[in-house]
């Protein structure tokens, strides 16, 4: 069970969530965006499709089906979709045992939990991919729940993953922040009424993240960790 030190107690002595930090995973806590780019590029190539890596990178953060549709368009042969997604999953799975976690990611999660925040992951990953990410992060003891690809019908930039994460955290939107690395993350959080925060670790420019709605942009998880006593984090801890 995740720790939630500092949380208020209800009448039965059960901790009540008062604030939540919702996290994207790929590109935010784990350095996987470019692994996905490579796997998608090869999956498209095997299907006879030429897709520029820069275009793939900009689409990272979308669910698999939405990513294929976004990059190949409505006029594509949809019969190829399942094979492309399966090829990507198989290629990306070769990295499952060595996914690199960003410096400071675990410390950030544990520090927030110690300060009374409820932590929930909201990710486009699911199944064995999500399991591999959670193993890499190694902080399940402080993560209260996960809203993955298997839990919602519509992924980012729709608000459903963030709303599902809010439900798991048990807090209203105005008592939560969402940390992500893509424009899709910022749009999903904004639509759900959650304050969007961004990191630059996914390779998306600061200006694009701000245009997507980011209230604050940090360099990396270590930068977020160093600023927990300021800005939106301090605001929610005071109120």
Q: What is the CATH number of the domain that holds 154?
A: 3.40.50.1000
C-beta of residue 119 within 8 angstroms of C-beta of residue 143: yes
> 75 is in which domain, residue-wise?
33-94
- String of DSSP letters for 170-219: T--GGGEEEEESSHHHHHHHHHTTPEEEEEGGGS--HHHHHHTT-SEEES
Query: d(Cα 109, Cα 8) in Å, to the nearest integer?
Result: 19
How many percent of the chain have pLDDT more than 70?
A: 93
Q: How many domains does the chain have?
A: 2
**Has residue 78 been placed in a domain?**
yes
Same domain, 83 and 181: no
Same domain, 90 and 124: no
Same domain, 123 and 223: yes
**Across residues 13-21, what is the average pLDDT?**
69
Separation in Å, CA 19 to CA 25, 119, 156 = 19, 9, 22
Q: 66-112: per-residue pLDDT in tens? A: 999 999 999 999 999 999 999 999 999 999 999 999 999 999 999 99
Could you tell me which residues come within 8 angstroms of residue 50 by beta carbon, excluding any fewer than 6 positions away?
44
Choose among 95, 106, 140: nearest CA to 29: 106
Same domain, 172 and 229: yes
Q: 39-62: per-residue pLDDT in tens? A: 999 999 999 999 999 999 999 999
Same domain, 18 and 133: yes
SS3 22: strand
Same domain, 77 and 124: no
Same domain, 89 and 128: no
The pLDDT of residue 17 is 62
Domain boundary among 77, 94, 111: 94
**Has residue 227 been placed in a domain?**
yes
Same domain, 83 and 147: no
**Across residues 214-225, what is the average pLDDT?**
98
Instruction: Give the residue ranges of DSSP H helices in 47-80.
Output: 53-59, 64-72
């Amino acid at each position: 069970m995740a720790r939630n030190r500092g949380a208020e107690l209800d009448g039965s002595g059960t901790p009540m969530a008062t604030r939540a930090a919702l996290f994207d995973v790929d590109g935010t806590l784990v350095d996987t965006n470019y692994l996905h780019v490579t796997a998608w590029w090869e999956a498209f190539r095997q299907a006879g499709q030429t897709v520029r890596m820069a275009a793939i990178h900009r689409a990272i953060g979308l669910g698999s089906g939405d990513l294929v549709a976004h990059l190949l368009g409505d006029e594509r042969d949809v019969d190829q979709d399942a094979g492309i997604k399966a090829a990507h999953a198989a290629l990306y799975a070769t990295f499952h045992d060595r996914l690199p976690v960003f410096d400071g990611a675990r410390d950030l999660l544990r520090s927030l939990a110690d300060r009374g925040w409820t932590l929930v992951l909201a990710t486009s990953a699911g199944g064995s991919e999500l399991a591999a990410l959670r193993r890499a992060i190694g902080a399940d003891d402080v993560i209260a729940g996960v809203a993955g690809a298997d839990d919602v019908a519509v992924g980012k930039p729709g608000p459903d993953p963030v709303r599902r994460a809010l439900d798991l955290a048990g807090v209203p939107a105005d008592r939560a922040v969402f940390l992500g690395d893509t424009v899709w993350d910022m749009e999903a959080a904004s639509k759900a009424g959650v304050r969007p925060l961004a990191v630059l670790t996914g390779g998306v420019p600061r200006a694009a993240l701000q245009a997507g709605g980011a209230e604050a942009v940090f360099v990396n998880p270590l930068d977020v960790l160093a600023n927990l006593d300021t800005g939106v984090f301090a605001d929610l801890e005071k109120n």
